Amino acid sequence: MNLKPLIRTVPDFPKPGIRFRDITPLLADPRGLATVTAALVERYRGKVDKVVAIDARGFIFGAPLAAALGVGFVPMRKPGKLPHAAIGHDYALEYGTNRVEVHVDGVAAGERVVVVDDLLATGGTAGAALALLAQVGAVVVECAFVIELTDLGGRAKLAEAGGAVHALCGFTDDEG
């Protein structure tokens, strides 16, 4: 199934000049989420111990993937969202910084994980996830995305950080 027709492009959201890739039509299609989950299950079956999904749209794809694989699900959240002791990693944004956090007992040293999110753009958030997982000694098998914005350099940034990337579909800046 070609996923690209199920992804809506919204111009000038959340600010002028941005072409937002909206996954809600994909989720509303009866086959959309099933297709994404099946593709990821096929790729990661038997290869990971846990699925680490990035807040918040990564949860939509990460939780059914973990359930289908029969492995644990670990939410990687924005600051202050986890109820138990957590560790975090700060990363730079265009203007300022942000942070991702995970419970201290979420991933053990040596566990094989796949990092899941809906979209790869510049690689800032996923790069922070890789750094945080390296801090706890996890083995990141791959970073999986539904969408890659190919013109924004995220794949190269993650490769520099030692992360392999798998994306189910890609968009260039001029597509839409």
Beta-bridged to residue 49, according to DSSP, are none
Residue positions annotated with a catalytic role = 57, 94
Please, what is the end-to-end C-alpha distance for the chain in angstroms?
A: 19
What is the C-alpha separation between 72 and 65, in angstroms, rounded?
Answer: 10
Per-residue pLDDT of the chain (176 residues), as tens digits, is: 899 999 999 999 998 988 999 999 999 999 999 999 999 999 999 999 999 999 999 999 999 999 999 999 999 999 999 999 999 999 987 677 899 999 999 999 999 999 999 999 999 999 999 999 999 999 999 999 999 999 999 999 999 999 999 999 999 988 86
The pLDDT of residue 92 is 84
The pLDDT of residue 163 is 95
Which CATH code for domain 33-171? 3.40.50.2020
The pLDDT of residue 93 is 74
What is the C-alpha separation between 137 and 107, in angstroms, rounded?
Answer: 8
Query: Which string of DSSP letters, residue by residue, matches 100-116?
Result: EEEETTSS-TT-EEEEE
Beta-bridged to residue 19, according to DSSP, are 11
Read off the pTM. 0.96
- The structural domains of the chain, with segments of one domain joined by +, span 33-171
The pLDDT of residue 176 is 66
Burial of 160 (0-12, 13-18, 19+ CB in 10 A): exposed
Amino acid at position 27, single letter:
L
Return the structure tokens found at 4: 């690209």
The pLDDT of residue 96 is 76
The helix (H) or strand (E) run that includes residue 110 is none
